[in-house]
Chains A and B, each alone.
Chain A
Amino acid sequence: MTINQLSIFIENKAGTLVKVLRILKEAQIQLIASTIADTVEYGICRIICSEPLLAYKMLKEHGVSVALSDVFAIALDDKPGSAADVVEIFANENIGLNYLYSFLLNGKGVLVFRTDNAEKAKETIILNNLNFIAEKDLSKLN
Chain B
Amino acid sequence: MIMSTSSYFDPEKETLSRKEIEELQLVRLKKTVQHCMDSPFYKKRFEENGLKPEDIKTLDDLKRIPLTTKQDLRDTYPFGMASVSLDKCVRLHSSSGTTGNPTVILHTQRDLDEWANAVARCLWMVGCRPDDVFQNTSGYGMFTGGLGFQYGAERLGMLTVPAGAGNTRRQIKFFTDFGTTVVHAIPSYAGRIFDVMKAEGIDPRKDTKLRTLVIGAEPHSEDQRKRIEEMLGVKAYNSFGMSEMCGPGVAFECPEQNGMHIWEDYYIVEIIDPNTLESVPDGEYGELVLTTINREAMPLLRYRTRDLTRILSGECPCGRHHKRLDRMKGRSDDMMIVKGVNIFPIQIETVIMQFKELGTDYLITLETAEDNDVMTVEVELDQMFTDDFGRLNDLTKEITRRLKDEILLTPKVKLSPKGSLPKSEGKCVRVKDLRKKY
Contact = CB atoms under 8 A, between A and B. Distances in A.
Interface of A: 5, 7-11, 16, 37, 39, 41-42, 44, 46, 63-67, 69, 71, 98, 114
A98 B417 contact: no
Nearest to B357: A65
Contacts of B418: 63-65
Contacts of B45: none
15 contacts: A7-B386, A7-B387, A11-B416, A39-B389, A42-B417, A44-B387, A44-B389, A46-B387, A65-B384, A67-B384, A67-B385, A67-B386, A67-B387, A69-B387, A114-B387
B388 interface: yes
Nearest to A59: B384
B389 A9 contact: no
Contacts of A8: 384
A65 B383 contact: yes
B415 A41 contact: yes
Contacts of B389: 37, 39, 44
Nearest to B412: A41
Interface of A is mostly: strand
B289 interface: no
A11 B387 contact: no
B273 interface: no
B419 interface: yes
Contacts of A65: 380-384, 417-418
Interface in B409-436: 414-420
Contacts, number: 48
Interface in B341-396: 380-389, 392
Nearest to B383: A65
Contacts of A69: 387
Interface of B: 380-389, 392, 414-420
A9 B415 contact: yes
Contacts of B386: 7, 67
Given A44-B387, A44-B389, A9 B419 contact: no
A21 to B, nearest CB: 15
Nearest to B382: A65
A29 to B, nearest CB: 18
A128 B419 CA distance: 46
Most buried by B among A9, A11, A71: A9
A9 B384 contact: yes
Nearest to A62: B419
Nearest to B414: A41
A64 B420 CA distance: 10
A40 to B, nearest CB: 10
Nearest to A38: B389
Contacts of A16: 417
Contacts of B414: 41
Contacts of B416: 11, 42
A44 B415 CA distance: 12
A41 B392 CA distance: 12
B417 A10 contact: yes
A9 B419 CA distance: 12
Contacts of B380: 65
Nearest to A43: B389
